[in-house]
A and B are shown apart, each in its own frame.
Chain A
Amino acid sequence: MATEIRSVFHPEVADYSDVNRDANRLLSKPGKGYLALLTVCVLLVGAAVVAFLADVVYGLGMAGLTNPVGWGAFITTFVFWVGIGHAGTLISAILFLFRAPWRQAIYRLAEAMTVFAVITAALFPIIHIGRPWFFYWLLPLPSQRQLWPNFRSPLLWDVFAVTTYLTVSSVFFFIGLIPDIAASRDSTTVPWRKKVYTILALGWRGTDREWKNFTRAYLFLAALATPLVLSVHSVVSWDFAVSIVPGWHTTIFAPYFVAGAILSGVAMVVTIAVPVRKIFRLRAYLTDLHFDRMAKLLILTSTIVGYAYAMEYFMAWYSAELYERDVFWDRVTGDYWWAGWSMITFNAIIPQLLWFPKIRKNLNAFFLISIIVNIGMWWERFVIIVPSLAHSYEPWRFLNYHIGITEAVILMGSFGWFFMWMLLFLRFLPVLSIAEIKEILPPPLKHHPADALAESAQQRLVEELPTGYKEFERR
């Protein structure tokens, strides 16, 4: 009787060759369904481009913005996508530093999502300004007239935070890809793919020295990216917290936004991972265990967010500040009560259902909850931005906001844009981290137990070991 050793995370993956096979299987010619989805995404992007051009040519009046509500769906969507972009770095960098072995299978997906989400988000500050053709004035470009941007403005901090985050997460994403692209290069038979992968692999040959440098570089980059997880969304939150608008001017905004970002990011990972696992038949890699862990992360962040909601209301009451109290009262009883309540329900209450193992382990239910959280997190940003502006200090200018057509189209287009990149990624770059998944698989032995198995096929015992870095290193 032979004993076969498997990773507890990937019990269905027998050995390294499985990983190579499964990861490279995706890098093939796409089917009709894929192309249809991609077409939809591109059309959405096209519509958004038309809508944006309408905004530019005719003026921002095309959007539904009003005088007190100067920021609406555009900034809401910006914050939403920046938030989505958080889970990737959290999973890839922070969990890497903490040596959480369940990260290996999903981090590539999450990281790609991060990069694409930030690319999406970065469009919105340009889209939303009144004269987008002058957006470069926000950058500290040397100017003959020595005109610098205003370093006191949170919007400028935002520019720095988002560009930094985009740079670091892209580099991190790319560095991590190098060995896997090299593996794809070696396995692909399509000539143009081979050419592209050859360029992208930067001549990776998998020598020990390369591996040594690579792991160091990756570690440093992970350490560099980790503070960004906290800083980016803190800075984005300061767009609001530094102002004096009641409902924005709150000290808890930075941690509150970070927690919210992780909540929405994890939810988006789940939203993407569930169909990917089903369509691309990656059950062996994205296992129930992964989803279980992510559900727990979701519960944690949802609870933090719920605490922040409660704390906001407590502070509004405790401060005895008329304007603050009015704004928060207005959020749940005023014209936007539906948005306020859907935010609380979707983000703080519904995710709590994941405490029940039955729901947590039911992927369909989890998928549904993740979508609800995604919607809820968009509403959260909406509720923070719009009702606060619609109901601030000056009563004469209490006026509501209704989303305009171009805003709605551009919002849809941002999803098209994001998923367009996501779809391209799925077919052109290895979704599974070939190298890192191998780290938690039992290493191939000279005398492979499978050889023994072949002798007595009837008798088979699979022993699952909680393999991971520690086990790996101990070996």
Chain B
Amino acid sequence: MTYTVRKFDAVIVGAGGAGLRAAIQLSEAGYKTAVLTKVFPTRSHTVAAQGGVAASLGNSEEDHWHWHMYDTVKGSDWLGDQDAIEFMCRKANEVVVELEHYGMPFDRLDNGKIYQRPFGGHMSNFGEKPVRRSCAAADRTGHAMLHAMYQRNVKVNTQFFVEWQALDLVRDAEGDVLGVTAMDMETGEIVVFHAKATIFATGGAGRIYYSSTNAFINTGDGVGMAARAGIPLEDMEFWQFHPTGVAGAGVLITEGVRGEGGILRNSDGERFMERYAPNAKDLASRDVVSRAMTTEINEGRGCGPNKDFVLLDITHLPPETIMKRLPGIHEIGIQFAGVDCLKEPLPVVPTCHYQMGGIPTNYLGQVVVPKGGNQSEPVHGFYAAGECACASVHGANRLGTNSLLDLLVFGKSAGETAVNDLRASVKAHKPLAQEAIARTLARVDRLNNQKDGADVHETRLAMQRTMQKHAGVFRFKDMLAEGVKRIDEIAGQVAQTQIKDKSMVFNTARIEALELDNLIEVAKATIVSANARTESRGAHVRDDAIDTPETPDGRDDRNWLKHTLWYREGNRLDYKPVQMKPMSVDTIELKKRAY
């Protein structure tokens, strides 16, 4: 198998919000920048983000970045790094105003300023009362954001390689990153993108779960590539689940349905939330509702032939209310559950929504690894931002509207740091590491020539079902331990996948097999990290983590206030401290997370 080499100052993998924002920084500084993307930039999953982007502009009422910082630390259940969180919240206004200058059509107030709306978990005066902090463009914020940033990139001559699948990170013997190998989907040609700076902005890997709100493209390509190249993955046990995804499909049913009076019922028709949250009932917080639903299913009170979902009932509401206030829900019920929600309840399950962990970075967007006694030594030439990265600002649980902020702030930061490093570094590219390239070629060769191997679709499904069952929203000691073994067996099958179609032009079977190589790394990291963390914190909730005065709600700060690092080699774990010291203000001290 042959390959060609193309040289750039910088190569960015992924053209969602983070990748586009990073590219602007590099191209504006005059660096020759390539952006590789599996799909056209404005079809990236950032499109699905509707809620808005958080910034303490204070356009409608008083607000302050310090209050936003407090909310984010608390939301993270104190696992977020307080320096990175301060950095993000302080930068929010700047990146939102920049976006406005790129042409982002934000909703506006009568006085012309950006309109802001309240969003869950965002409060004024250190948790006192809700504040209007989210800036949105109707219900198409992510989409409008991508358009504005894509246009800006075209203007500053960023070179896009659309429909290219990145394959592997190229690292030399010293551990420096020298670019990526990638495949042109249109021809099957393999090219080495030789670069002085490599930025990963590949999004999350929500497709490791059977039930996921994520689009099919979210296969954790950057996370998998980093793991294969020896970079540890941080805090991968933390995944945000949304309580109401359509069973079997994953499509999100907004919280607004329960807000309008929707009721969750088990197979006995019981409104079970009355037992778990007597006051808030169906409107309790996401994690509480998700855990209650999972308990009902695990105790045999699920619905359907496999007793694996519960019902969201709105049949008691007047049809005109549903059609007027929740029109999209009627369509979704019909399309994806075959259910007319005016007459029958909708089948729902807690559904994977967002990856809090990822490739470890600092607030400058540099990828950092433990080396020679330093817990966070930057890897030369390697940067990451957005959902694939772990800065760590979301810690154990992300607040709504902080994901779009994350990708703007850290996309810019990664680009800016890369520009500074390029200015300071020697002019020439380091020689390419032939060994790393040979590994990619061997991986593709293996796939092309595999006989009597495993079916890609079936293997992926086995992984997704195992992750859903063993490392879902509510975790049990024995199930986790069994899940680790099962995922290990499935990883063995992934190493022997086989494809029937060997054609070169847009061979989707080959692409899906290569994506599965990335997904399985994320699945391993998730289940091994979750099995080891014997406390409950944020989105990671274990049945055996007991509520005591020392460990409120099972959170064990004495033993577990630390970041997990999973290494692919040896499937081993390491840990590093949480950065409790912010950049300029006092530490936000530990306390029980209650709303």
| A and B assemble together | no
**B contacts, CB < 8 Å to A:** none
**A contacts, CB < 8 Å to B:** none
